[in-house]
Structure 1
Amino acid sequence: MIDCETEISQGRRFAFGRNWLRFGTLIDEERIADARTSLEAALGTSDLTGRSFLDVGCGSGLFSLAALRMGARVRSFDYDPDSVRAAGRVRREFAPDSDWSIQRASILDAAFVARLERADIVYSWGVLHHTGDLWAAVEATCGLVAPGGTLYVSIYNDQGLESRMWTAVKRRYNMSGSLGRQLLLAGSMLYLGRHYPLKAAHQFVGRVQGSAGRPVPRPRGMSRKHDLVDWVGGYPFQVAAPEEVFTFCRERDFALRHLKTCKGGIGCNEFVFARG
């Protein structure tokens, strides 16, 4: 087993699992419902009864749980032992007697991947770009999809120079002590929120005029606070343009069924492919 803890202690990897453990304490039925809704929208179905669902890099386990609630047989794994613990805690609290297995493993471990059964749905949201070898990870993930199955992945958008800037921030975050990390989080929050005053003013005018819409729900049942820490600290970090992901998967006999981009900004582009 590759030593995740050593990479974290040497500043070469963000402690994703510790962040997921903290987020896991917030998981409730509302967040589970939000996660399930986003999964249903992307997959185009609310019923996964009888289908196998493989969660590559399961993190908190929230989306494994959502798939389980949709009727799937769920298998999850993650490289970070704290992520495995976080998912295990969610399973114990919300699905103690379920058909859901959780393992510690890496998608880059060829021997482990070779032992896995191919799944009807292979899901990996915001994971493969943190492995340190994005395209090898995508290749391995593609190979886990059963014939006629579905691949659902999200990968950080390539913003050119800004992506290179964030790579440097993330590297510095993981090499820094507690104070340095707090300063990088504060600076990043100010940078990312530089357009918020205009948005807030627009919403205020809307409320005064009686035209404000209902509040935007939490995306995918997640937490903005934990997403910020994950974003600033998330290293290793690689990116890809949407057309790169599309071309890579098309060459491996996958047809695009769903695409949601981050509109050229920071964040993930998400793809759902059907395997021929």
Structure 2
Amino acid sequence: MIDCTSEVEQGKRFAFGQNWQKFSRLVDEDRIAIARESLVVALGTGDLAGRTFLDIGCGSGLFSLAAVQLGATVHSFDYDPDAVATTRQLRDRYAPDSDWQVEQGSVLDSSLVSRLGQFDIVYSWGVLHHTGALWDALDTACRLVAPGGLLYVSIYNDQGLRSRAWTHVKRTYNSSGPLARRVLVVGSGMYLYAPRRAVTLLKSAVKGRRPEGGKARRARGMSARYDLIDWVGGYPFEVAAPEEVFRVGRRHGMELRHLKTCGGGLGCNEYVFAAITDHGDTQTSHAARSVTAAA
């Protein structure tokens, strides 16, 4: 069976873990606080004491750490061994005595999934669409949620032809050498960010003041640089329209409790679903009831 390292070497998969390793050098208390707050906003609570939290595709481990700091018992796994190593390093640095398990594995591995059991909160932000089997991965994530629990996922928005074009860019990136990859990242950055920067400069000129400087932290404590590399190289790559994700949730007896879209454009749509306790019973757990719906 082919593994992550072989897929990366063959140009069939982006080296997500290597990118997360580089990002992890930027992690500090400020970024951790921003990540923690993003969980609080989406889940509707800052108290995860007594709850179990599964991080599918933990990446750098930043959000597993945020869940630990909110009181959860955390189990993290990632398909990429470099991501697993990075998460363990973050755990050893910030939460060495916590109840936080980290292992390598894939959400598509039935043997792994079968021994995990179910969790109060299943979290997978920007991961399932990189498995190569988005709908199987999402079905599995739904089954891992305990009755009354929460599923918090984000999935790339389907932009039709633009998404198909980005798929080609991503394939090209992973089958190219270092120079071509740099060209693709720079070119993509100019395409994505230059118009936005031009608008900012124009508005500043009209208002008669200089544009704001500094290096603002991105939402969720992320990094513009490493997010761009992840975006350009992130392959396998699949997308979904919100209504398709809603259908999967309903099929598993879940109710949508939180939605944050990318406005129909580029990026991820973010969902929190609550698992109904007893096959259609509308009563949910404390965690599910506390979530604030947001459009």
TM-score by length of 2: 0.90
8 Å Cα contact 1:34-1:218 kept in structure 2: no
- Alpha-carbon distance in structure 2 between the residues aligned to 1:272 and 1:160: 24
1:200 partner letter:
L
Structure 1 pair 166–92 and aligned structure 2 pair: CA distance change class (3 A): same
Equivalent residue for 1:199? Answer: 200
Structure 1 pair 149–203 and aligned structure 2 pair: CA distance change class (3 A): farther
8 Å Cα contact 2:158-2:239 kept in structure 1: yes
Structure 1 pair 209–180 and aligned structure 2 pair: CA distance change class (3 A): closer
- Alpha-carbon distance in structure 1 between the residues aligned to 2:52 and 2:162: 38
8 Å Cα contact 1:126-1:155 kept in structure 2: yes
| 1:157 is the counterpart of 2:154 | no
- Alpha-carbon distance in structure 2 between the residues aligned to 1:206 and 1:36: 35
Equivalent residue for 2:112? Answer: 112
8 Å Cα contact 2:204-2:210 kept in structure 1: no
| 1:224 is the counterpart of 2:224 | yes
**Alpha-carbon RMSD:** 1.7
Question: Offset of 1:201 from its aligned partner?
Answer: 2.1
- Alpha-carbon distance in structure 1 between the residues aligned to 2:208 and 2:234: 37
Matches within 5 A, 1:9-28: 9-28=9-28
Question: Equivalent pairs: percent with the same residue?
Answer: 60
Question: Offset of 1:222 from its aligned partner?
Answer: 0.4
How many residues are aligned here?
274
Structure 2 residues not aligned, in runs of 5+: 277-295
- Alpha-carbon distance in structure 2 between the residues aligned to 1:242 and 1:195: 27
- Alpha-carbon distance in structure 2 between the residues aligned to 1:22 and 1:88: 15
Structure 1 pair 48–209 and aligned structure 2 pair: CA distance change class (3 A): same
Question: Offset of 1:215 from its aligned partner?
Answer: 8.9
Matches within 5 A, 1:81-120: 81-120=81-120
2:27 partner letter:
I
Report SS of the residue matched to 2:65. helix
- Alpha-carbon distance in structure 2 between the residues aligned to 1:20 and 1:232: 14
Question: Offset of 1:208 from its aligned partner?
Answer: 2.5
Report SS of the residue matched to 1:195. helix
Question: Offset of 1:68 from its aligned partner?
Answer: 0.4
- Alpha-carbon distance in structure 2 between the residues aligned to 1:98 and 1:186: 40
Question: Offset of 1:205 from its aligned partner?
Answer: 4.0
8 Å Cα contact 1:49-1:70 kept in structure 2: yes
Structure 1 residues not aligned, in runs of 5+: none
- Alpha-carbon distance in structure 2 between the residues aligned to 1:206 and 1:216: 21
Report SS of the residue matched to 2:53. strand
Equivalent residue for 2:209? Answer: 208
